[in-house]
Amino acid sequence: MSNPACPECTMDEVIAHSDKWECVTCGFEWPKEADPEVADGPRIVKDAHGNVLADGDCVVLIKDLKLGGTQVLKGGSKSKPIKLVDGDHEISCKVDGIAVGLKACFVKKA
Segment 65-107, tens digit of pLDDT: 998 888 899 999 999 999 999 888 899 999 999 999 999 999 9
CATH number (domain holding residue 31): 2.20.25
* Local confidence band at 7 (pLDDT 50, 70, 90 cut-offs): confident
Give yes or no: residues 63 and 104 share one domain: yes
d(CA 35, CA 14): 13
Under 8 Å CB-to-CB from 9, ≥6 apart: which residues?
23, 25, 26, 28
- pLDDT of 39 > 50? The answer is no
User: Are 103 and 61 found together in one domain?
Assistant: yes
Domain shared by 2 and 30, yes or no: yes
32 and 63 share one domain:
no
The parent domain of residue 75 ranges over 45-109
Residues 28 and 62 in one domain: no
> What is the count of structural domains for the chain?
2
List CB contacts of 74: < 8 A, sequence separation 6 or more.
61, 64
Query: What is the pLDDT, as a whole number, of residue 60?
Result: 96
If DSSP codes are grouped into helix, strand and coil, which group holds residue 74?
coil
Whole-number average pLDDT of the chain = 86
